[in-house]
Chains A and B, each alone.
Chain A
Amino acid sequence: MQFRLVKIAETSKKKQTFIFLAAILLALFTTGLFIMFLGHDPVKVYLSLVNGAFGSRYRIEQTLIKAIPLIITSLGIAIAFRMKFWNIGAEGQITMGAFCASYLALNYSYLPRPVLLSLMLLGGFIGGSIWGIIPAFFKAKWGTNETIVTLMMNYVALKWIIYLQYGPWKDPAALGFPKIPNFAENAILPKFLGLHIGWVIALFLVISVHIFMNYSKKGFEIAVIGESVNTARYAGIEIFKTIVLAMFLSGGICGLVGMIQASGVNLTLSKDITGGVGYTAIITAWLGALKPHWIVLVSILFAALVQGSSYIQTAFGISAASAQLLEAIILFFVLGSDFFAKYRLVIDWKGLSRKKENKL
């Protein structure tokens, strides 16, 4: 008996969807077993998971607040990934965006609100884009590995904020507690239809990035570089400039997330500003096939999962770790299902011992 894997040349859309849905069902089933083991009814837990994410206006708002940074970061990452530039540095780019925005918020709070907020958005973008351009420059100039450089720069950014939080930017009014002062009213994002205005920015970016990637010259060039650098050179695309531009945008968009989180959600800067969004967004960007509209859907579902599981945590007394396990199992199955869309398992039952004469 022999096992072997056969690569499937092309999988139809229908089959891909089927595999995807099957993976989610299997994940729910497996998690169900685990929930039963904990002594709860899986169906009830699942229903209240949905309830926790979408059951009331407040809950929907909370889900969306969690979805906004995921959407925007995924968009930023998608631009880099389209170029096959593996930007793992969204964490750092968000952090540096938040840093620049916070610098403006803390020092120029006397400016009129619209002016200050616009400056902060610009600052967020620039902070993130600088953190994006650095690895792009190294990669385009000397061919360094962007995965490692972007990843390492996350820690540089994080340690910088920790230094500020425990040192020069520590709030003297916080009685020795290591915390950066809260933003003044002027530096806080206004609400629109009950939600901080970040969702409008997200919507605007979804449309802009879609147009940029599919219809603009630069977007086309980025896609060509992602497919083949040699073809890009052959076609007269300026590789260096385009790589740097793509990472300027990718990092800048991630930097905006830092500004939005600091000004719209946390109302200050802290070392926990990203909440791990920079890493989660890699997954959502990938699951969304780097397409803006799918990214929106995947990000909202992801945020719902996070929001819903924090609800079942309190409702059923399931520990936080178990709730995270649930997220992990779903992710595992969905990401793993990709394998079955690409390969087929063949089992060969025939024996080895048959002699030549028997067959002929």
Chain B
Amino acid sequence: MNNGSAYVSMRDITKIFGTVKATDNMNLDVAEGEIHALLGENGAGKSTLMNMLSGIYIPDSGHIYIGDREVRFSSPRDSINAGVGMIHQHFKLVEVLTALENILLGFKIGIFVKKNDQKRLIQQIMEKYQLEVDLDKYVYDMSVGEKQTLEILKTLYRGARILILDEPTAVLTPQETVKLFKIMRRMKEQGCSVIFISHKMNEVMEIADKITVLRKGRTIDTLDKGNTDPQELTELMVGRPVDLSIKRVDKTSDNRVLRVKNLRADNEEKLEVLKGISFDMFQGEILGVAGIAGSGQKELCEALAGLYPIKEGEINFKGENLAGRSPKEFITRGISMSFIPEDRLGMGLVANMDIVDNILLKQYHGNKGLFVKRKPASEKAKEIVKKLEIKTPGVHHPIKNLSGGNIQKVLLGRELDSHPELLITAYPVRGLDINTCLKIYDILNGEKKKGVSILYIAEDLDSLLGLCDRIMVISHGEITGIVDARVATKEQLGLMMLGNKEVDHAV
């Protein structure tokens, strides 16, 4: 029998994509006035389950109840009408409109919009939930935190009583996260049901009342926060005991590998995205890069790899200036640098090709004559598959069918195979499960021991603090400071990510 107080109840929900059961008879009960965390690794089915509650996917079987009625959503609009609101990781806002216009957009209120009446209504909601949004501000002027608050306000205005937040803290600084949690608690007090998707243990422990752990498309257990601890949750999530600590290997040498001086670059709209970046990198060290998403990390990596046009500045790699050179010149000049891009399938690899052809991508320039040689690539592919324990039916299998972790291993394996002296990695563990993350950290530490200099861009401050020697913080295309990872704190990094230079304890 169902828990009588449950407001939202999902029963035996199954959804199949192709041959994969994304959710397998999942169950979830959320009461009114409860913050319920969904905890699970990537691919556990968290987002799929929530997409079914918000009408984006339709379950293949199972039942959803809201209040005491069964509901069947065939579109997001149905679910909005039933009081469900979902805040996605990527905000659905129109940049060139104001906050108010975004809220009113696409919502049925007759032909003519009585802006002032609606504005009053919105202000009442803002008061009730203590949300701070400047309704006349344009979205493009807003910070990520402001946009998120606006998304929440938008869903509340549309009458949401059940709010789903899909990994809301991934894009926030620690300070913004604190603000978000305040809002979530306020909503709970007002009797809303809040469902919070996350894989960050500490956040779940801080905010949630109840926690449902998902693993590989199944509901493993629902626990009260008071009766559990992070270790238990992790074991439930992964399915076996794990050591969560990241090891730091000591730095060995002081030889400088790379010196970047006053690097400037414009984006396509001629706005400066890198505003005079200068830093050094040494042999056998991991230099972390922290920053709010879109602060120039992507442009910095691509500029270093010769993929982003540089306006000004110097990239000195072992005495050679690389600024303005193309990837092709890197290859012909034998520059010993590898780049693991953020978008693995969109930039590093070719999704529709097999492992052999993806290895070939890095080798064929060296093949003599007009033709490519697949045989050495095929041997190399087998070697990498074996060495990195890549799970694949064979080396002639399109890599798009592999899991995210295995795809990343193919990319890392290929890049490390050229024995680079400088390795640039952009979000190398994004979207990977805990075990693969740890494996990747091990690989990076192994390279560091060999004397490779590694630029490590990440969004997870815990991994940055645990893995790196130094952390460089960038904000709006500027370096706000480079700190020693052994002594830095999250709060300090958070302030610097917001552009505050005063907390800088440069080393």
Contact = CB atoms under 8 A, between A and B. Distances in A.
Contacts of A140: none
Nearest to A220: B372
Interface in B4-27: 9, 11, 17-20
Contacts of A354: 63, 70
A2 B401 CA distance: 30
Nearest to B345: A228
Given A231-B347, A235-B327, A356 B74 contact: no
A1 to B, nearest CB: 11
Contacts of B331: 236
Nearest to B332: A236
B346 A231 contact: yes
Interface of A is mostly: mixed
Contacts of A235: 327, 361-362
A8 B19 CA distance: 9
B227 interface: no
Contact of B353 (A227, A348, A355): A227
Contacts of A357: 68
Interface in B342-372: 343, 345-353, 357, 360-362, 364-365, 367, 370-372
Closest 9 CB pairs of A and B: A9-B18, A236-B327, A236-B328, A230-B347, A227-B350, A356-B65, A236-B331, A235-B361, A356-B68
Contacts of B506: none
Contacts of A8: 18
A356 B70 contact: yes
Interface string A217-235: 1101001100110110111
A231 to B, nearest CB: 5
A224 B330 contact: no
11 contacts: A4-B58, A4-B74, A216-B372, A217-B370, A220-B357, A220-B360, A220-B364, A233-B347, A354-B63, A355-B70, A360-B2
B339 interface: yes
Contacts of A230: 343, 346-347
Interface in A271-330: none
Interface in A159-176: none
Given A220-B360, A230-B343, 4 more contacts: A2-B74, A217-B372, A223-B353, A234-B307
A304 to B, nearest CB: 32
B18 A217 contact: no
Sorting the interface of chain A by its residue count into under 10, 10 to 19, 20 to 34 or 35 or more gives 20 to 34
A205 interface: no
A347 interface: no
Contacts of A10: 18-19, 401
A236 B326 contact: yes
Sorting the interface of chain B by its residue count into under 10, 10 to 19, 20 to 34 or 35 or more gives 35 or more
A2 B72 contact: yes
A193 interface: no
A359 B401 CA distance: 38
Contacts of A119: none
A236 B357 CA distance: 15
A349 interface: no
A237 interface: yes
Given A233-B327, A236-B331, A352-B70, A224 B361 contact: yes
B371 A217 contact: yes
Interface in B364-384: 364-365, 367, 370-372
A233 B307 contact: yes
B69 interface: yes
Contact of B351 (A2, A216, A227, A348): A227
B364 A231 contact: no
A12 B328 CA distance: 39
Contact of B347 (A218, A234, A238): A234
Given A4-B58, A354-B70, A231 B348 contact: yes
Contacts of B2: 356, 360
Contacts of B305: 234
Contact of B69 (A2, A220, A356): A356
B341 interface: yes
B1 interface: yes
A215 interface: yes
B347 A228 contact: yes
A234 B305 CA distance: 8
A348 B74 CA distance: 11
A126 B401 CA distance: 42
A309 B299 CA distance: 60
Contacts of A220: 357, 360, 364, 372
B372 A356 contact: no
A233 B302 CA distance: 11
B402 to A, nearest CB: 13
Contacts of A218: 370
A216 B361 contact: no
A218 B371 CA distance: 8
B84 to A, nearest CB: 16
Nearest to A238: B328
A228 B349 CA distance: 9
Interface string A246-274: 00000000000000000000000000000
A236 B74 contact: no
Nearest to B369: A217
B69 A231 contact: no
A331 to B, nearest CB: 26
A295 to B, nearest CB: 20
Contact of B9 (A227, A355, A356): A356
Interface in B297-311: 305, 307
Nearest to B351: A227
A300 to B, nearest CB: 28
A217 B328 contact: no
A355 B365 CA distance: 66
A235 B346 CA distance: 12
B381 to A, nearest CB: 15
Nearest to A225: B350
- Chain B CB within 10 Å, residue with most, of A4, A230, A231, A238: A231
Contacts of A7: 17-18
A356 to B, nearest CB: 5
A235 B361 CA distance: 6
B326 A231 contact: no
